[in-house]
Structure formats: structure tokens, C-alpha cells
Structure 1
């Protein structure tokens, strides 16, 4: 009873039904009582902390230079060969209607393009006369869905006036075309991308997991058990997160939900398989399905719990982040994994107890005695299953460990050597598909006008009444296309502001890294005028400044979170394994695998898919996931080796441990990698890049680190792998190790 106590509590003759009913009741009650998490999404939550320079600058700009213009949607009009008078007439009629009857959430103040004479309007065309940019302003309080409603009505008005919808025409043709870009257009497109991705991602993930399980285990019932468990877990996770978000305790967005779904199916299925594979093996040795199940739970529950806790702790490390997107991932991801591994230790055993051997139909595992009895009843000869305790990988890592270690280190180290070539971007537009309207609109502006027009940099300085020619200073710089006339602050007239249009894409790294130079120019101007403490009297706002701060905050978070994750996982491994040596090489191999995944991922994305740069958040996201999930496999395998080493020589324990865990970890790794690879099918580049690199990292862990590198290192270290503890098996070990 003591040995199987936990198993009897959740999967006994009566308790298995109680466990199932508890989960059903939990899902039903929570689903009715609390909202689902996708009902509480907040996709425009701030990412930068209040004390970042760009946020402070935005506050000064809002106070001293309130535009009252709201959020701009830039309508980009174009016709190959030049806009005609008829095209301009369509635009004028549209603005006349918008002025007389604004669309939903549109601000009533409209630039009077309808009242401008054609010659004046033509002066605003691009140099070749093919393009024109006209703004429409929406309420700042309007969300992406509300803004989209207004933009859709603008399209309908344009179609009514022109007789065709230029927003649906392909670029480069002979017809009038239009695209919506600017902050409003980008916000609408970003939200739409994630909304469209949610359902397709869920369907694709379920299908890929189901197909792989069917191919590997060839049992339709078994393939459904992990999916049912994940479904129940999600049925609890979603309302719990929805409640927390509704109370304002956490913030969730579409991106977090998308990645959480993938993580849940990938890691959740892995935890289920760790138990299921052990159960199948024990069913071949024990006639009682309950006894086999309790034995399987005893042998695997520790590793499953340790694996789950490792991932939970790694995700919680994101609470140390200052960048909002990182911080907001911590609670949803860690809570999801916590509930999932609880389900794998309660609901899955209950389902296996209810179904018994039928879970594996048509390939039902039986003991040799059961096979003989079955053959007698069917008057057929007994097919004796050959029991194999090791395989070629186990023999290789124990007979040629140096060869394996050197080959693995050279291979992984060679891939890791490509990481210095990585290039990063913080441009949200580069994450959009090239045919997204807001990206197409921006491309037209960049080609036909000055790209800096899309996102000007606002430079503000407190002159303390001194005459400072900040406009002239900025315009004299080669990287500035144009600097506007200085404006006076509404509350403090000594504060002057100049809008600067850069002579380059304001979202590029080159433009971002000019922000310190721009600040330095303004500070030097104040210092030369005799103004003290110039640094506190200069503010730079705009999207370029925001992206520069994003890079700084992201680098700060990376420097803090990576050591925290490594430290937490190291501590957990020490407590679990009670071996300093094993803990060190298990952590180092996963870190090496991570850098290898970055290097190989860059080769695939850059040279295979043509990506010029990857999103700046990818390395940290990938690290947290790969180190935590990679240790899962190490923990499961090393646990098997450690347990076997209690009653056999270490080399034999390694061979049998590699063989015993090989198939299940390979299956789990394929499923986890496939679920992350599903992200690569989405049109959102940040998810594509994250999915590719993480999938590659999981495969490297599954097929190189876990089966070859870790057991080979363990073989080389021998009994020192247990230091400061002692290897459990002593008697006759020296003789048998030589065998």
C-alpha cells in the first residue's frame, strides 16, 4: 500500500472514476464560472517600463505637445504611371464624406483635402506623381477591432465613390490602388494575424500530434489519451488564466496564447508518454494491469514531476524581466505546465486504469504466460518476443565514449560557431508577410517618399529661454532628411520640439542606433548655451526611440534571466541527482545544444529562407524553452541510469538506460519538435523564427545530446559521475565493468 499509495489514490478500482469525475467537474465549473483566456486578451499592453527614456519622452510630448489627432491611419494611394485627376477626385470625395459623416471611432477633425484645389493637392504627390499619402485619425481609446471597423467602412465608401475597391487591387497594375499603413494599420494587421493564427494553429497542432502518435504507437486509443489529457488541462488552464486576466493580476496577449498552446501540446504529450511507455513495458512483465500501472507510476512519477517543475521554474524566471512581453509570459506558461504535469500524474493514470491493456489495441502488451495462454485458446504457436536489454547506441557510447564525445562536441560546437553571424531586428513590420497591407503601404512610402515620414523622431529640449538653433543642428546631419520648425510647449514655452525625418528606414537597426547621437547633439547644444544638467533636459520620442529602448531592455533582461534560469535548473538537478559532476555536464550539454540550435537555425532562416535578420526576442525565448525542455529528456534518461546503477555495473546501467528510454524520448522529441515546427507555417515571422530554432534545438537534444553525448560523458566519468556521492553498485563492479 505504501509503495503504490499515490497510484491507488488516483487510479485505484474506485478512485480512477473519482479522478476522472473531478477533472470533468473542474472543467465544467470553471468554464461556466470564469471567462476563457482568449476573451481577456490585451494586445496593446505596454512593453517598456515607465522609467525608460522613450516612455518619459512620450509623457513630455503628451503634456507639452498634445496633438489631439489620435492614432493615424495612413492611406497610401498609387497608380503606375501617375495618379489621374479622376483618382484625386475620388480621394477628395472620400474626405468630403469623412468630414461630413465620420466612420466609427474616427476623430471628426479631417484634413480638408476635398477643399484643396487640384494644383495644391498635386504638390503633395511623390516626385514621379504616382503616389499620395493621406491620413485619417482614430480615437486613441479605440482598440484594433474598433479601428478595423472604421477602416472597413472607409473601404466601402471608396468603393462606392470609385466603382471599385482600390484596397483590393494588386500593386503594380494599371488600376488605382490603396493600402492602409501607419500606427492604426499596423495595429489592425498585427491583431488580425494572431487572430487568424489561433484556430489554424490549434487544428494543425492537434493533427500533427495525432498523426505522429498513430505512426509511432499504431494504436488509435493510445493516440487519443494524451490529447484528451491536454484537452482537459486546457479546459482548466484557460478559465483560470481568464479569471486572473479579468482581475487584472496578469496580462495575456495573442502571441502568448499561441505559444502556450504549442507548449501545452508538445510538453504535455511528452509527460504522458513518459508514463505510458513505462506502463506498456510493465504490462509485459506483470499480469495485473493495476499492479503494472502502480509500478509504472512509482518508477516514472519522480522524473515527470522533476521535468515539470524544471520547466515551471524556468518560465517563472521571466518574472525578472522588465520588458513587458517577456514578463507577461511567466505566469501563463508556468501555470499551464504546472496543471499539465498534474494532469499527467492524475488524469492519465486514471484513463489508463479504466482502459487497461485495451489502451494499446491492437498491439496489446501481455506477459509471456498470457501470450502462451492466448495462443493455446487460439490453437496457434506461441511467438516468443525477444527481450533486448540494450541496442547499438548503448553499446557504442559505452565502448567508444571518447569518439562519441569528440564527434558530438565538434558537431555541436561547429554549429554554435555560426551564432556570432546572427543579425537582429526590432521592426514589427519585418515580422509581417510581405503582402500585408500595412507593409505594402510602408514599402510605397519608402520608395516614393522619404521613409522617415512614416515614423518621425520628435526631439524635445528645455532651452530655459536660450536661443538654440536645434533645427539647423539636426538638419546639418547626413542621416536627417528633414527637420521641422521648432514648436513651443503648451505648459512650458521654454521646451522646444522638432520633428525629425530620418533619411533611412526608421525601423532599421541603423536608425535605432542613431538615437544616442541625436540625444548627444541636443545635449551638446544645451551645454554650449550654458545650461546645466543638459541630459535631464533632452527627450527623444517616436517609434525609433521605442525600438532602441526595446533593444536595451531586452539585452538587460537576457543578461539577468539566462543566469537565473541556469542557476535555478542547476539547483533543482543538484537536489534531485545529489551529484555536482552530473549536474554540471547535464547543464553544459544543454547550453551547448542551445547555441548549436541558434547557429543552425540562423543557417536555415538566413540562407534557406532568406531572412535578413531575426527578431531580437528570439534568443531569450529559445533559451528558456530549450534549456528547460532539454533538461526534461536528460532527467528522464539519467533517472533510468541512476536507478539501474543501484543493482548493476554503471556501463550496463548506461546501456540498458539508453535502450529503455530511447524510444519514448525519441517519440517525445519528435512530437515536441513537430509542434514547435507548426509555428513555421504561420504568416508571423517572429513565430516562424521561434518555431524553427526551438524545433531544431529539440531535435539536437533528442538525436545527439540525449542518446550519444550525455551517456558517453557518463561512461567516461564512470563512478566520478556520482560525486560527491558514491555509485550505488559496489559488489563485483570492477570485474563486471571490464566485461
Structure 2
């Protein structure tokens, strides 16, 4: 605490406040001038699975391991001979003038017309054409290639097939497959960080203006967040340029929301306390010193809680989760530093004018001002505020309130057991995205499984294996190809397995262990030893299966670490084992309740049949860490007051003192996460919805009712093993 006092004294002095502001301007300016931009070094093609993942090992053995783009050609009245001739012309052009990164091309232009007609769907409306690209090509590289493909088609076809709607009677073209899906995914995120930056800035500004009705006050948090954002980006770009970290567009998008939401909260914790002290202290510097002394510890503790929780994501083996750790934790760390340096400096410069036109003044200042204007003195405000009345009600009926809220949270948490999960990338896309429309065409006129076949590779050691027959007998498999000898290793043969269902569905993922078991049994029956080491499964379905396994392991690894770290920080800060237990318990219950309510909203109001499998872990990291922020801020106030007054009175005043600022902070944080629901990316819609619901639960249920009610109910034991509660006992007896 002495350190915070020294910081406050330094940044609030006549020279120190200006030096602090200038230092921030210089540091951010130099960082942006000499360090690379974060947007220039984001890697949307970074691998999510490690090289040890079974599907990655299989892909390394697979000689046909490029990135295929599948073009679905469709005419609702049936493809004509002229359409097929135009498709052949495109094939010839691609053969003569290959696209960038193009590696393979089935020679449709060399096939006779009758053979091509045999490739049409049963209703003769749809035909598929494949172009394979280098597996090392990035999404940006593939986008250039696919745009060139569409441009080539426009010069050869009588119409522009990729601009046609599916309902049109003309020839329609849609690019799907892994290449098309990857490009569309990147396109969705391309402008997301910019649009989120604008949307969150406006949202925070509007909410602050509505709540505090002060244009200057509304700008102070935004200025602080802007400085933190301006410094975080270049540092991330520099670290990525040095090869120390990697991050993607999705990470930058969520980081923007996190920085504005949590950053504004930290600013409000200090600003609200400063405004309160200004009503009793005429010297603005002394008021600022006291405000930072009172709230600085909670801000630092809250920031460290979030930073440590986010750093735990470094333990993840799944790339997309692992890549979140540094951008998220760095942004919060910088914002926390700004909250205790830059924000106090701005408040010291502006003083009471920060709150114009509702300037807080001491009673003496109000009297002098009224006398100067020959007006009557404003009526003194009593403590019978809503927050005070709420605190008094909780103190009177703690058991009733605690049990009621526990029942409500418990019932809603029970719905989290009904959640269905999916790892289907396409399901996160808007229905009118080209790759999703192409997939729909394939599913409607061919087999969904033909979009991404499962490749089974086995080390046959020169033996003829009846594996194609064995696999063909399995349920949910529509076709198995003849074995093809691997040109890299003559002992390895591969089979293409076409599933009867969507290759990205949960049912398809569940087929991977069944296929592996059948392959291993076939090898064992042929007398081949160590069969488990001689079977590999490649393809999108196998990759998604590994994703499910790895992310599940990550959750079991990361969640206990986060719980342990937050519990330890609470124990050190509050010095109470009992308080640590029930504060952690309430946040965990709130998390499961948010999942339950989130599922009901997403399923019944958004029409989602399943949510992305990564959502529970994402939501846990943010809700548990951020939810504990509000508990820390309120409980720290109660703890300080309990040193000089009975516990019940401390709780009443603590609820009254922190209620307004926590409510404001919760609304802003929930609002910023809710902005994600406006994006055309379902994974962010789902994440934003669940997280916003969780923040509102923490704000209006857990912080407002459950935690103070439990604190009253537990009584003096809330401080155990600390002896702090004895102060209150003595005062109550007297």
C-alpha cells in the first residue's frame, strides 16, 4: 500500500501529473513510430494442433496433403452441355496458367463430355470441380488465388457465376472445401477488430454519458483505454516480429473488447472513489491520494487476478487458445498500470472539473458557493440511498436472500448440463457465405461426406488387406475407395472413406475411433504386430476429432490452475480462508448459471442447435477472473470498514459505497461483450452472449445479494483465521 501512496503522490503533484501525461504520450508515440503494428503480424494460418497430434502425423504421411478448393457448379434447371464446356475451358486455363500456389488439378478438360456428365448429381443440376493448393499457403495467399480463379471464370463464362444468387436460374458457382472455408473464415475476421473498436468506443461513451452525465468524465476512461490500446498493439507486433509469440484476428478482436470493458471498470473504481472523497475533502490532491489509497489495492489485485488467469492459457496445447494468453494478459497489465498512473494524473490535472456539470463539493464549499450566489444551501443528502437500503435489507434477512439466490443460480446452472457442442467450422458462418452455400449444394445434391473424406493410412508391409471391405461394413460409411500405394513409402497404403453425414458433425467425429479400431483389427488379423502404431487417419474430420480431444485436455489442465491461482491471490489479499472459499464458490456457481442461461438464449432465441466446443473454456477464463473483480472491490471495502465498525454496519456501508460503481462497471463490461453478438461470426456471438449474461449475473445477483448475504450469515468467521473480526465484536458489545 505504501507503494501506491508513493505512486499517487508522484503522479498527482503539480509537476508529476504533467510529467506522467507526457511520459505516456512519448512512450506510446515512440512505440507506434518504431515498433511494427500488431495487425501486420497476425497469423490466421497458424497451426492449432501440435506435430504430435495423430491427424497431423497422418497428414505428413499423406502424399495428397494439399489444401483443396471444391467448386460447386449448379443450375437449378439442370447443367447444360454449354455449362460443362465452359467448366472444361476453365480447367484448361488453370492447367495452362496455374493459379498461385496451385499444386494439383484434375484434368476435366481432357475428359470426354459423356464422362463428365456421369460426374453430375443424380438430378443433373450440380457438378464438382477440385483445385488443390500448397499446404503451406496462408489464407491471404489462398484468397489471392481464389479471387484470380473467379476472375478467370468471369472471362470464360457467358455470365458471372460467382455473383449469381442460388435462387437464380443461371449457372451458379460457389467455392467451398478447406480452401474456401479458410478464406471465408479469414474474411469474416478481417474487419472485425476495426468495427469492434468503433462499436465498443461508442458504446462505452454512451453508457458513461447516460450514467454519469458528464462529458469530461466519460472521456477520461476512454483516453486511458486508448493509450493502453495504443501501447499494447506495437508491443504485440514487436514480439511477433521477433518470433516470440503468435496471435490471430480472433484474438485481436476479443482483446479489443476485453481492454475496453475491463479497462473502463478499473478507471471507474478509482473515479467513483475520488468523487466520493471530494464531497468531504476540499484539497483535490489529498482527495486523490485517499481515493487511490482506498481503491488502488483492489484495482491492482483485480488486474493481477485477470492477468494471472489469462497467462494460464499458455498451458494450452491447442494453438488458438494458447495464442490468446499474451495479447490478453499484456493488454490488462498495461491497462492496470494506466489505471494507477495515467488516470490519477488526468484527474489531478482536471480536478473537480472532471465531473462537470455535477461537480462534487464539500458542505463548506457548497455553503460558500450558495452565499456567493445569494441562493439557499442545497439540502444535504442523506444516506438513505438505494444502496444503503439494499445493504440494510440484506443485513436483516441474510439467510432468506442467500438461500433464494442460491436456488435461482442452482436451477439455471442445471441447464448447463443440456448444452450440445459442435466443432463444425461452417456452422459459425452466416448462411449466405460462399463456402457455406457451396457446402449446402454438395449436401443437397451429392453426399455431405464427399466434401471432406477421411483418409485411412496403414502400414501393410506388402500384404493385401481386406480393409476396404472391413470399413465398408461399418455403419454411417457410404463409400470406401480401393487401396492406393503411397509413393513415398511402398509399405503404406491409403483408403478414402466417405461418411454418410456432415464430416464436421459430432457424429462424424465419433466415427474416428471406430474407423481406427477396425483398421487395427484388420492389421492384427493379418499378423502385423504393433498395429496401433501403423494406422494413421487424416482429413478434416480427424483433425476436428483431435481438436476435441486436445481442447478437452486443455480445459482439465487450465481450469484447476486458474482456480488455484485466484484462490491463492484471494487468500493473500484477504487473509481469510473462509472468504476465499465462498467468493470462489459464488463465482463458479455464477459461471455455470451463465452457461445454462446462455444455452437457453442461444438455443431458443438464436436458433443454435449446438454451441462451439471452445465456448465453456473461453467463458470460464473471463467470467471467473472478471467476476472475481467485483467481489474483490466490494469485499475490500467491507474489510476496511470492519476495522473501525461492526461487521453488519461495514457490510451495509460497503454495499452502498460500491453498489453504484460496480453496477456501472458491470453494465459497461456486459455491453462490450454483447457487441460481439452483432458480428456475423457465430463463435463470437455465442461467446459474447454467454459472457455478457455471466457479467450481469455477477453484477446484479452475486455481488448485489449473494456475497453480502453470505458475509452476514457467516458473521465473524468470515475473517478466519484472521483476528480482524474482534474489532466488530467489541464495538457491538459496547
The answer to whether TM tops 0.5 is: yes
Distance 1:152 1:575 in 2: 57
Q: 1:496 to 1:139 in 2, by over 3 A?
A: closer
Of residues 233, 236, 239 in structure 2, which corresponds to 1:244? 239
Corresponding residue of 1:565: 562
Deviation at 1:140, TM superposition (A): 3.0
* CA offsets 1:371-395 (integer angstroms, 9 cap, x no match): 1111111121111231316522101
- The answer as to 2:13 corresponding to 1:12 is yes
Q: 1:447 — aligned with what?
A: 444
Match for 1:628 among 617, 625, 629?
625
1:334 deviates by 0.9
1:673 is displaced (CA, Å) by: 0.3
Q: Which residue is 1:519 aligned to?
A: 516
Counterpart position of 1:216: 211
Aligned to 1:171: 166
Any conservation in 2 of the 1:315–1:624 contact (CA below 8 Å)? yes
Q: Which residue of 2 aligns with 1:276?
A: 271
User: Does the 8 Å contact 2:159/2:171 carry over to 1?
Assistant: no
1:691 aligns with 2:688: yes
Q: Which residue of 2 aligns with 1:58?
A: 59
Asked if the contact 1:645/1:728 (under 8 Å) is kept, the reply is no
Q: Where do residues 33-182 of structure 1 align in structure 2 (5 Å cutoff)?
A: 33-61=34-62, 66-67=63-64, 70-107=66-103, 109-182=104-177
Change (3 A) 1:182 1:465: same
The alignment status of 1:429 with 2:408, answered yes or no, reads no
Which residue of 2 is the match for residue 262 of structure 1? 257
Compute the displacement of 1:50 (Å): 2.1
Q: Distance in 1 between matches of 2:317 and 2:611?
A: 21
From 349, 355, 361, the counterpart of 1:360: 355
The answer to whether the 8 A contact 1:79-1:172 is kept is no
Q: Does 1:617 align with 2:614?
A: yes
TM-aligned CA distance change 1:54 to 1:4, over 3 Å: closer
User: CA separation in 2, counterparts of 1:311 and 1:295?
Assistant: 25
Shift of 1:111: 2.7
Q: 1:169: Cα distance to partner? A: 1.2
Aligned equivalents of 2:198, 2:270: Cα separation in 1? 25
Matches of 2:155 and 2:166, distance apart in 1: 20
Q: With structure 1 as the length reference, what TM-score do the two structures score?
A: 0.97
Which stretch has the larger CA shift, 465-474 or 453-462? 465-474
Q: Which moved more, 1:451-460 or 1:389-398?
A: 389-398
Structure 2: unaligned runs, 5 residues or longer = none
CA contact (8 A) 2:7 2:341 kept: no
Task: Tell me, in whole angstroms, the C-alpha distance in 1 between the residues paired with 2:58 and 2:414.
Answer: 40
SS at the partner of 2:324? helix
Structure 2 residue 179 is the aligned partner of structure 1 residue 184:
yes
Q: Distance in 2 between matches of 1:4 and 1:144?
A: 50
Report the counterpart of residue 31 of structure 2 in structure 1: 30
How far does the alpha carbon of each residue in 1:617-656 deviate from its partner, in whole angstroms, 9 at most, with x for none?
A: 0001100100000000000000000001111111110000
One of 227, 230, 238 as aligned partner of 1:232: 227
Q: Distance in 2 between matches of 1:487 and 1:161?
A: 35
Per-residue deviation, 1:735? 4.0
- Stretches of structure 1 lacking an aligned partner (at least 5 in a row): none
- The 5 Å alignment of 1:414-563 reads 414-563=411-560
| Corresponding position of 2:675 | 678
**Pairwise CA RMSD of aligned residues?**
1.5
Instruction: Indicate the larger mover: 305-314 or 172-181.
Output: 172-181
**1:344: which partner in 2?**
339
Equivalent residues, number = 730
Deviation at 1:728, TM superposition (A): 5.1
Q: Deviation digits for residues 469-502 of structure 1, max 9, x if unmatched?
A: 1111111223211111111122432211111111
2:76 and 2:125 in contact (8 A); partners too: yes
Q: Structure 1 residues 27-36 or 297-306, which shifts more?
A: 27-36
What SS class does the counterpart of residue 7 from structure 2 fall into?
helix
1:563 Cα offset (Å)? 0.9
CA deviation after TM superposition for structure 1 residue 146, in Å: 2.3
2: distance between equivalents of 1:555 and 1:70? Answer: 28
The question of whether the paired residues in 2 share the 8 Å contact of 1:312 and 1:338 is answered with yes
Q: CA offset at residue 731 of structure 1?
A: 6.3
Measure the CA separation in 2 of the matches of 1:462 and 1:105: 30
- Structure 1 residues 186-224: Cα deviation after superposition (integer angstroms, max 9, x where no partner): 111000000021211111111110000000000011101
TM-score calculated relative to the size of structure 2:
0.97
Q: Please tell me whether the aligned partners of residues 368 and 384 of structure 1 are also in contact (alpha carbons under 8 angstroms).
A: no
